[in-house]
Structure 1
């Protein structure tokens, strides 16, 4: 018998006996009289869809520890881990039933809300993302540009990310679709701005004020 299988049998006997984590969660929920919703097997782990993202549960390979996370594309709602199967099932059920975030955090201390959790629940992650990029030392070289854009009430409704020196501004950070703009700083305050789409529009601006004005024009089109 391999060491991995031996450890699995030792740390997760109920999972091995049931043939996977999904039936274990369903059975444990039934014993406690709590609802989970449809639980799908995912390898040795399990997954279920909730009104606040996809909740997944997996097994730690190091020791008995159930790992869970709740994600929606691009964002993390919550993560956590516990060796207590009962506590895990209670937490999964509470999340699936839509327990308010503050109550969830207080009830399950082994769970940690993601930075964007409350913004996701409020339905607007863009202000929090601006805080992230403006505070980040990693983006310090772009901070002057970011501050100039954030100062404009129309431009700051766009969701900013910076990758390899290129600033991407998106209209819909969670949903698919929507326009997005790419801004490359050339030298000084001179920038190239591109509206990605059909047709693609590219222009250059000489100052940050001109860049803001150009973005406002593109947003109004």
Structure 2
């Protein structure tokens, strides 16, 4: 923490409040936290690589992350973010910082459409492309925010409003459809088309 404060003072930078997040060392990392007023900048010392891991977050949302060997760049990133930097400005000025795709999606004019576009085009989701494309073809499901994780597609009103969300999951060669709040484990379907139709019926009902 004293190193961050000293670097900020040398650079004449206003980073916000610098505090200790954890005094413990875990898996080679030590932690410090900078409260910028626009969320937090977490700084992790990675001893094995002799560099600093930097993470910017606002509440539950991870904004950006990166690594640098220069402590001065860590405080510059914090000061730049505190000063109101946009995502594009942050990544352009500090190329080692990667703005997360989810942060860009949620900042877009139409987060639902942007999230669908990402899930349907990014190579990391290619294994579940059939599931995503089938859901996207349904006009009811296409109007909901999709979240893909562990071979399971969740559809909700928005990223933060998960009440009544419906999940389509791969299950033993078939598919399971379940709505949040249900006491049961949902229903299983042999085909993707049947699972999509069932999810559409749930979300298209008046109570959805």
Query: TM above 0.5, one fold?
Result: yes
1:88 aligns with 2:67: no
**Aligned residue among 133, 143, 146 for 1:159:** 146
Q: Conserved in 2, the CA contact under 8 Å of 1:129 and 1:159?
A: yes
- 4+ aligned runs moved over 6 Å, structure 1: none
**Aligned residue among 19, 31, 37 for 2:16:** 37
Query: Whole-Å Cα distance in 2 between the matches of residues 196 and 46 of structure 1?
Result: 37
Q: Secondary structure at the match of 1:79?
A: strand
**Aligned residue among 78, 94, 114 for 2:100:** 114
Query: Whole-Å Cα distance in 2 between the matches of residues 182 and 215 of structure 1?
Result: 8
Deviation at 1:125? 5.1
Matches within 5 A, 1:6-155: 21=1, 23-42=2-21, 43=23, 44-50=30-36, 53-71=39-57, 76-122=62-108, 126-135=112-121, 142-155=128-141
Query: Whole-Å Cα distance in 2 between the matches of residues 109 and 140 of structure 1?
Result: 27
- Partner residue of 1:216? 200
The structure with the larger Rg is 1
TM-superposition CA deviations, 1:95-130 (whole Å, max 9, x none):
122201112122122322223332233376544543
- Partner residue of 1:178? 163
TM-score with structure 1 length normalisation?
A: 0.68
**Using a 3 Å threshold, how does the CA distance of structure 1 residues 160 and 36 change in structure 2: closer, same or farther?**
same
**Using a 3 Å threshold, how does the CA distance of structure 1 residues 154 and 40 change in structure 2: closer, same or farther?**
farther
1:196 aligns with 2:196: no
RMSD of aligned Cα (Å): 3.5
In structure 1, stretches of 5+ residues that fail to align are 1-20
Q: Conserved in 1, the CA contact under 8 Å of 2:105 and 2:115?
A: no
In structure 2, stretches of 5+ residues that fail to align are 24-29
Query: Whole-Å Cα distance in 1 between the matches of residues 13 and 52 of structure 2?
Result: 18
